Amino acid sequence: MKSDHIKTLVQDPAVGSGVTVAGWLRTRRDSSGFSFLEVNDGSCLANIQVIADKNLANYESEIKKLTTGCSIVVRGELKESPAKGQRVEILADSIEVVGWADPEHYPLQKKRHSFEFLREIAHLRPRTNALGGVARVRSRLSYAIHEFFQRQGFHQIHTPVITTSDCEGAGEMFQVVTEQELNEGSPQSDGINSFFGRRAGLTVSGQLQAEVFAQALGSVYTFGPTFRAENSHTSRHLAEFWMLEPEMAFCNLDCNMDLAEEMLKYLLKDVVEHCQEDMALFDKFIEKGLIDKLRHVIDNDFVRVSYSDAVEELLKSGRRFEFPVSWGVDLQSEHERYLTEEAYRLPLIVTDYPASIKPFYMRVNDDPTTVAAMDILVAGIGEIVGGSQREERHDVLLGRMQEAGIDEEEYQWYLDLRRYGTTPHSGFGLGFERLVQFVTGMHNIRETIPFPRTPGFAPC
């Protein structure tokens, strides 16, 4: 059915014209001789008010029985609205009830529900203002990511979801087995997938495959679902999340950081501009000062500091952290947040981490105890981006792989990239849900993805 989007009717109203709106009822209020219906169609946060006169054929039989959640199609005329807070309303010529929603059982009432409760009804929560808004902002951010990279001449690469390289995923990879193996009672204990003849799992990162295409197409990005079976019950971890991973040939760590900073600013600017209504809602109800927080990020240079200096900063803070700090330990979320929220009060790019805590593919610095890594930390979350310049020197890479106990046979293809026309190259991974979290102010990452998956939780 062709209907008019409320978004268009509200933003660019053609008063006096005939319109059709198809949506879900938010509320019904009866007055003498007519009813007010608030209808939402999901095209935007705003509802449109419909005036249903008692002379409508089904007024007594149906309209007066409408409750929250019913789906209806309204045909009528768009009018200037005398009421405050809305420019237009619809004077209905007809209202067709498409689907009833038994008020005895429909779980969404007019009052505000907790996010925990809404997670239990994942199939209905997008009908709330907050979760509907998150879905729209998420969609816009995804669009803006493609726009940013495509405009700069990057090519999107669809890296595989089933992967047979598990170097990064040690212990946190979901293994893939066939139904037949299960039916026969025993997936082989070495995890060999009989279909592929080797171990297979769900991807924990598309980076290694993106590197392949960067070494042919120059600048590429992959953006897709990523899986980690880490047993984290935090507000920042999901078992299934989306990751954006650009990878650039002929690009060193500075070039990598510049791109990441430019990209983040571009994305924030884009949503502040294009999602004003939803952003205003988040600013009011989810995180006070949200838009100012984003503008602060857009308008200022990120601080770039080495891991060693960051550790100094933490040590001299006099803070008692749950995890004590010393050179060589990985930064925990509490450290990351102290640095960005209190010490520097800006997004922070921490560089040159100890080689011992970073993966084998990161480029070894001249010192040579550190690697050319860079993590971007933001307020409220901590790490939002993790990246590095990759080790392009064949022998150094081989040495790091041997140290890490990685089977070089399996990674011949990865080593080959260093044997044939190697280049200095770099890339990073942006956790898409952490970005949505930062942008919307949602406290828990589970509100940023349509269907969250966490340990013990994957309802629909």
Estimate to the nearest angstrom the gap between the alpha carbon of 200 and the chain centroid: 26
With b for 16 or more beta-carbon neighbours within 10 A and e for fewer, the 314-324 pattern comes to beeeeeeeeee
- Whole-angstrom CA distances from 237 to 7, 131, 230, 446, 455 are 33, 19, 8, 8, 10
CA distance 39 to 27: 7
Which of the choices ligand ATP, Mn ion, none does residue 429 contact, using the CB cut-off of 5 to 8 A by kind?
Answer: ligand ATP
Count of residues in contact with ligand ATP, rule CB under 6 A: 14
Min dist CB 100 to ligand ATP, Å, is 39
Q: For residue 335, what are the contacts with CB-CB under 8 A and spacing of at least 6?
A: 310, 314, 321, 323, 325
Min dist CB 248 to Mn ion, Å, is 18
Of 286 and 350, the one with the shorter C-beta distance to ligand ATP is 350
Of 132 and 387, the one with the shorter C-beta distance to Mn ion is 387
Which of the choices Mn ion, ligand ATP, none does residue 385 contact, using the CB cut-off of 5 to 8 A by kind?
Answer: ligand ATP
Min dist CB 374 to Mn ion, Å, is 10
Min dist CB 435 to ligand ATP, Å, is 8
- Whole-angstrom CA distances from 309 to 305, 312, 425 are 6, 5, 25
Report helix, strand or coil for 343.
Answer: helix
Min dist CB 173 to Mn ion, Å, is 16
Binding mask 303-332 for ligand ATP (x = CB under 6 A): ------------------------------
CA-based R_g, the chain, Å: 26
Q: Does 294 bind ligand ATP (CB under 6 A)?
A: no
Q: Does 108 bind ligand ATP (CB under 6 A)?
A: no
Which residue from 31, 52, 429 is spatially nearest to 241, judged by alpha carbons? 429
Number of other CB atoms surrounding residue 442 within 10 Å:
24
Which of positions 412-441 make contact with ligand ATP (CB under 6 A)? 429, 431, 433-434
Of 9 and 377, the one with the shorter C-beta distance to Mn ion is 377
Q: Are 309 and 350 in contact (CB under 8 A)?
A: no
CA distance 326 to 328: 6
Nearest-CB residue to ligand ATP? 431
Of 233 and 345, the one with the shorter C-beta distance to ligand ATP is 233
Min dist CB 211 to ligand ATP, Å, is 15
- Whole-angstrom CA distances from 213 to 157, 207, 414 are 8, 10, 12
Q: Does 241 bind ligand ATP (CB under 6 A)?
A: yes
Of 305 and 331, the one with the shorter C-beta distance to ligand ATP is 331
Q: Which residues bind Mn ion (CB under 5 A)?
A: 386
Residue the block writes with tokens 């619809």: 90
Of 168 and 287, the one with the shorter C-beta distance to ligand ATP is 168
Secondary structure element (H or E) that encloses residue 220, with its range: strand 219-227
Binding mask 200-229 for ligand ATP (x = CB under 6 A): ----------------------------x-
Which residue from 329, 297, 293 is spatially nearest to 314, judged by alpha carbons? 329
Binding mask 378-397 for ligand ATP (x = CB under 6 A): -----xxxx-----------
Choice from 136, 140, 237, 265 touching ligand ATP (CB under 6 A): 237
Min dist CB 434 to ligand ATP, Å, is 4
CA distance 33 to 105: 29
Residue ranges that bind ligand ATP, judged by CB under 6 A = 228, 230, 237-238, 241, 243, 383-386, 429, 431, 433-434
